Amino acid sequence: MHLKLAEVMADILDVKVEEITRDTVRDGHPTWDSFNHLRLVTAIEEEFGVQFTMDEIESIETAGQLDDMLDGYLASAA
């Protein structure tokens, strides 16, 4: 998992970076609500210079999914 992604997620979700793993689940996390989900997506888009589609944004359920999506975007940009 990208360290910078974990740092962004930890900042938005107000947890320690070590608490963010690929298995961090949106529905199982007390601060990963709909508002923070949008804040998270916006922060990731700004940090990494990517833009997710609405379908992708709605489908995100885990930090691992976010990491994989980000990998796909970064690979296609290289």
Q: What is the DSSP string of 3-33?
A: HHHHHHHHHHHTS-GGG--TT-BSTT-TT--
Tell me the mean pLDDT in the region 8-27.
97
Global pTM reads 0.93
Looking up residue 18, the CATH number of its domain turns out to be 1.10.1200.10
- As for how many domains the chain has, the answer is 1
Single-letter code of the amino acid located at 57: I
Give me the chain's average pLDDT, please.
95
CA dihedral 42, 50, 56, 14 (to 10 degrees): -40
Domain that holds residue 50: 3-77
Task: Kindly state the tokens that stand for 71.
Answer: 């990998």
pLDDT in tens, 26-48: 998 999 999 999 999 999 999 99
